A and B are shown apart, each in its own frame.
Chain A
């Protein structure tokens, strides 16, 4: 039976506070639970979609499609502990983004330009950057670089899986990531110089 609780109370966390309860309620198709799930995770997912596609309109459309997918495939979700619901939703959203990028025929070009060696612990450069600046710089990357960079850095996906998901070789994935990092650092340095 659908709980008769006002939306405000529910959204303040008096209902379905637990990920497991929320997922179970969504499996039963309870609209209130679906609403809470959407409101809880949609903002983060929107950022994710935007990071991949670099366009606000496309990102919103992909977000909607991803949640429709999630609500339809709710029965297949298995609770494996705290954070598993977010991880599951993230995976659905990423898949949607990759589908979108495939339609746009993303290519994994290799820019011949050399931006110097990438330094693993270049925290000094990264420390001063803010989220918006980082997002803008990521969007300036070519689609192939950007996708591999997103999957490796933000989704914590190993090269083997990236290669499988994108239909490329592991070496291509590694090269693309390396080049993406080089280019990103190069752009950050240029930005710093401009600011200073």
Chain B
């Protein structure tokens, strides 16, 4: 050993050294027991660290998902840029939306109402029925202004989901069919909107009552 270079001599010296020489109170059994316990039950700080890391991963993942996923409502142009689109007007909020858009942007054309396939298929006159009673007035069928018996809606149920707006009225038994009537619809927001779309501007001006004149057909058969 005496002939070894100094570094190797030092290494050998340390290798042969008894640890009890440096750490007198060292108990291998006790030390192992502590280590074993640490392996079996990770420390509280380690557990918190682990939970924290899981939470951080979850939050980052959630944020990435929110920020990076493309919006299906927004179409993508050929250049890859998102095209800003006006939200689609649902049937229920057509009047409100049309009024808002019309005042804010004059270039936006009002939505045109499209008659349902059923109403296009069947001529209005063919639906005329002599049976008196509750009549479903189809406002799409307003074709002419004419004088007639004034009727007041007894059950002004606005069925917003199925535009054109329909109202149920009780017509006099003697009324000829098809009925030519003036109907006063009170505070019907949906109807006002519907009229706006039809550019029936004068009707929109009054908010208290909307006189609606026209030819109505009984559709209760």
Contact = CB atoms under 8 A, between A and B. Distances in A.
A175 interface: no
Contacts of A121: 5-6
Contact of A38 (B14, B21, B23, B35): B35
Contacts of A68: 35, 38-39
Contacts of A56: 22-26
B64 interface: no
B71 interface: no
A68 B10 CA distance: 29
9 closest A-B pairs by CB:
A131-B17, A56-B23, A43-B19, A46-B19, A50-B22, A126-B6, A47-B19, A64-B35, A153-B7
Nearest to A149: B10
Contacts of A143: none
A112 interface: no
A28 B28 CA distance: 23
- Interface of B, secondary structure class, is helix
Interface centre among A34, A47, A72, A154 (most CB of B within 10 A): A47
Nearest to B38: A68
A195 interface: no
B10 A126 contact: yes
Interface of A: 31, 34-35, 38-39, 42-44, 46-47, 50-51, 56, 59-60, 63-64, 67-68, 71-72, 120-123, 126-127, 129-132, 134-135, 153-154
Given A68-B35, A123-B3, A127-B9, A47 B26 contact: no
Contacts of B23: 46, 50, 56, 59-60
A91 B123 CA distance: 92
A64 B22 contact: no
